[in-house]
Amino acid sequence: MVNVIGLGYIGLPTALMLASHGVEVVGTDYNAGLVKTLESGHTTFKEDGLDDLFAAAVKAGIRFTTEYQVTDTYIVSVPTPYDDFSKKVDPCYVVAAVNSVLDVAPKGAVVVIESTVSPGTIDKYVRPAVEEKGLKTGEDVHLVHAPERIIPGNMVYELLHNNRTIGADEREVGERVKELYSSFCQGEIVVTGIRTAEMTKVVENTFRAVNIAFANELAKICRHDGMDVYEIIRICNMHPRVNILQPGPGVGGHCISVDPWFLVGDYPSLATVIGESMKVNDGMPDFVLERIYDIMKENGVTDISRVGLYGLTYKENVDDMRQSPTLQLLDSQARHLAEGLKVYDPFVTRDVVKNQYHDLDAFLRCVDIVVVMVGHDEIKKNQSLLEGKIVFDTRNVITLPGVYHI
């Protein structure tokens, strides 16, 4: 039996995938309300294919509880926030989960950390937690790191098809965990050491963040001299060894916007390019807000309440708002002692910000300027609704004439 600890965006799909592929699984989460929702037959967030996977797992016998189980294998998939000031990872949730596991785990149990952590976190924080219990790693408990590699909006497919890395102290234990993930993973699974596994996951997301920062900085340069950044990127990408990404209003989600800071926090004097890149990305919501004010001035719009932000999530066609550029922009506006921007997102059905609408037509009737912050299919397929509006498209998805861009 496998006890999956933490039933959020990563833990729940992992638990469901294992259960639906013949593994006995019990999912544990401290949130009693979340567990109750799952026990009642409902998932806790929207994701393509998740409901079908949930049904298959329930049919296979998956169970949900707030209690930690006595078993030989645990998968810890809890959040790893970082400190905004120091930019260092906060391992408190991981350590707390491991401590709870060790209270019930039998001798020789395998504890797999799926949570993304900065390189060295397991040595600095998890091993000491084991030792404080009077236990020895490699004998009483075996530590493994198997970082997740999935993205909201395509979780089910990527769980099945993405390559994975298994980091373990002992090769034999790593191979056992590899066999467990092979029950569903069709990608290549590499077994290596724990520090290498920690580093590879963070480096993957850092690579993407740095490349996004290059695109964003290029957009600012082109804006300064009145050049079309999208045309420049299109032509440059015709070169066989060039692949510039698209600029945007900022970087959100719980990976690309967070993981690179782990390296900056741990290696402040070495990760200089990474640190400057993250500053560029973090500064994009402010840049977009300044562009909004410029567009208002150019078009004679003086009332900020006549401006609407389309999209609250951090990417298209999901309900995930973690580190959303729109939320960052609204925070920036509040810091400037201003408010009034209207907001709408088809995937966010509850009120989370001021002046939020839940009907697209009503939203559009109340604004003169529409700022497309997220390229949901809804707006891409219904662009005619934007005719007659001043459109500022931060995602380059609107094909109407006269649209403003970053």
Residue among 2, 232, 264, 234 at smallest CA distance from 112: 2
The answer as to whether 22 is a domain residue is yes
Yes or no: say if 248 and 284 are a contact pair by the CB < 8 Å rule.
yes
List active site positions. 201, 255
Distance between CA 289 and CA 121 in Å, rounded? 37
Domain co-membership, 325 together with 188: no
Domain co-membership, 175 together with 35: yes
The answer as to whether 370 is a domain residue is yes
The answer as to whether 88 is a domain residue is yes
- Check residue 337 and give its pLDDT: 64
Distance between CA 179 and CA 113 in Å, rounded? 16
The answer as to whether 206 is a domain residue is no
pLDDT one-digit tens code per residue, 145-200? 999 888 878 899 999 999 999 999 999 999 999 999 999 999 999 999 999 999 99
The answer as to whether 144 is a domain residue is yes
Residue among 369, 246, 387, 213 at smallest CA distance from 316: 246
Domain co-membership, 184 together with 303: no
Domain co-membership, 291 together with 176: no
Domain co-membership, 184 together with 296: no
Give yes or no for residue 136 having a pLDDT over 80.
yes
Domain co-membership, 43 together with 144: yes
The share of the chain scoring above pLDDT 70, in percent, equals 98
The answer as to whether 209 is a domain residue is no
Extended strands (E) in 154-209? 164-168, 189-192
Which of 192, 226, 243 represents a domain boundary (last residue)? 192
Domain co-membership, 186 together with 309: no
Domain co-membership, 181 together with 291: no
Domain co-membership, 176 together with 308: no
Q: What is the CATH number of the domain that holds 180?
A: 3.40.50.720
Distance between CA 52 and CA 124 in Å, rounded? 40
Residue 287's domain comprises 283-405
Concatenate the DSSP letters of all residues of 7-40 into one string. -STTHHHHHHHHHHTT--EEEE-S-HHHHHHHHT
Query: Which pair of structure tokens corresponds to residue 127?
Result: 């091993």
Mean pLDDT across 315-339: 89
pLDDT one-digit tens code per residue, 63-109? 999 999 999 999 999 988 777 666 677 899 999 999 999 999 999 99
Domain co-membership, 42 together with 183: yes
- Check residue 268 and give its pLDDT: 92
Domain co-membership, 293 together with 185: no
Total domains in the fold of the chain? 2
Which of 192, 210, 225 represents a domain boundary (last residue)? 192
Give yes or no for residue 365 having a pLDDT over 80.
yes
Domain co-membership, 182 together with 303: no
The answer as to whether 259 is a domain residue is no
The answer as to whether 198 is a domain residue is no
pLDDT one-digit tens code per residue, 231-257? 999 999 999 999 999 999 999 987 888
Distance between CA 390 and CA 405 in Å, rounded? 11
Which of 192, 222, 237 represents a domain boundary (last residue)? 192
Give yes or no for residue 116 having a pLDDT over 90.
no
**pTM, entire model:** 0.87
Give yes or no for residue 368 having a pLDDT over 80.
yes
Instruction: Work out the burial of residue 99: count CB atoms within 10 Å of its CB; fewer than 13 is exposed, 13-18 middle, 19 or more buried.
Output: middle
φ, ψ of residue 165 to 5 degrees: the values are -120, 130
Q: How far is CA 398 from CA 110, 212, 284, 385, in A?
A: 50, 20, 20, 11
Dihedral, CA of residue 156, residue 245, residue 257 and residue 11, to nearest 10: 10
pLDDT one-digit tens code per residue, 292-325? 999 999 999 999 999 999 999 999 999 999 899 9
